[in-house]
A = this chain, B = another copy of it.
Amino acid sequence: MASAVADQTISIGELEDFCIRVLTSLGVGEDDARTTAKALVTTDTWGVYTHGTKLLRGYARRLRGGGLRNNLSPKIADEGAAWALVDGQSTLGQVTSTFATEVAIRKARQAGVGFVTVTNSCHFGAAGYYAWLAAKAGMIGLAMANDVPSVAAPGSRGPVLGSNPIAFSCPTAAGDPILLDMSIATVAGGKVFARCKRGEPIPPGWLVDDAGQPTQDGTLYPDRASLSPVGGHKGYGIGLLIEILAGVLSGAAVTKQVGSWLFGDMSAPTNHGAAFLAIDVSAIMTPSTFYERIAALISEIHAEPTAEGVASLMLPGEMEWRNRRQAESKGIALPADVIDSLQEAASESGQPFVF
């Protein structure tokens, strides 16, 4: 196996096939393995390597431990005209979330809007992937999930809410869908680790220590510091909305009851919650009118005067779609940490990974 070199790449198809091989070797059905592989590899093509195939190793360990089930499928536990409750049955978060998104799309096709809340899920990777699935179907999509607490609330000494990702995507006629994917923290914990590793200071505003005071000592995170909520009470408040829609309303675990998919007991379900909303554009507005109006908004933003050194304002997702086209034409240039993780997943599963 070659070591990581920046100009080495792997094709989308090869990487998907590898993920499928690992997952099927652990008893995951072919379709579910493909669904998961598509979510992980698409996320890598966006350049969001923290939430792509790097996760495979952990998911594989959890499948081996039994905390993720390979012999069950997500199912609709209850439903109405415009909503459903999906029970993920502790299958892979990507399988459950793709299923739930498809249910939301189907409901929206019938009722104009579809809302799906999910229990017994697991870590679902990039929220943006599911929002984008809705956009591909001509819908405005939202996706969100709760997670193990890592983010402080204003005035707290410790973490109160998870990173609680939220994403939205909006379809366009000609160009790329708008795609925002964010957590409620000022910055991701991974950025704190990266700065520490490089010996760089932590900027003010990123972390709160265990006395509830701002700190720039990155070595305290995560044991004695938590991530600050973006915009203080605003990030905290949005995080709480996500906790309610994804966790409380679904019957899933809430805040400290959510299991850590990476560090928790590998034999126990994490019981993450999630929620998905799809709004069918074509039900509400003639699609051509909607697409003209979105195109006008995008053009207006692109035509805005910019600060020195800024070529053009970007729409959310614009950088990710550029990365994706690069990945499609030249393959994915996986970072070293992702390659290491994939190689471990390969050796632990007895599957070859040649990079």
> A180 contacts B305, CB within 8 Å?
no
Q: Given known contacts A81-B111, A310-B155, is B297 in contact with A255 (CB within 8 Å)?
A: yes
CB neighbours (8 Å) of A83 from chain B are: 111-113, 279, 283-284
A308 interfacial contact with B, CB 8 Å: yes
Q: How distant is the Cα of A99 from the Cα of B325 in the complex, in angstroms?
A: 46
Interface string of A43-81 (1 = CB under 8 A from B): 000000000000000000000000000000000001011
A93 interfacial contact with B, CB 8 Å: no
A281 interfacial contact with B, CB 8 Å: yes
CB neighbours (8 Å) of A154 from chain B are: 313-314
Interface string of A154-193 (1 = CB under 8 A from B): 1111101000000010100000001010100010000000
Q: How distant is the Cα of A110 from the Cα of B83 in the complex, in angstroms?
A: 11
> B316 contacts A156, CB within 8 Å?
no
A137 interfacial contact with B, CB 8 Å: no
Interface size on A, residues (CB 8 A): 73
> B82 contacts A212, CB within 8 Å?
no
A194 interfacial contact with B, CB 8 Å: no
Q: Given known contacts A153-B301, A305-B156, A307-B155, is B231 in contact with A315 (CB within 8 Å)?
A: no
> B279 contacts A115, CB within 8 Å?
yes
Q: How distant is the Cα of A61 from the Cα of B88 in the complex, in angstroms?
A: 55
> B314 contacts A155, CB within 8 Å?
yes
CB neighbours (8 Å) of A115 from chain B are: 112-113, 279
A202 interfacial contact with B, CB 8 Å: no
Q: How far is the CB of A283 from chain B (nearest CB, A)?
A: 5
Q: How distant is the Cα of A154 from the Cα of B256 in the complex, in angstroms?
A: 34
A140 interfacial contact with B, CB 8 Å: yes
> A290 contacts B160, CB within 8 Å?
no
Q: How distant is the Cα of A313 from the Cα of B155 in the complex, in angstroms?
A: 6
> B294 contacts A180, CB within 8 Å?
no
> B82 contacts A293, CB within 8 Å?
no
A127 interfacial contact with B, CB 8 Å: no
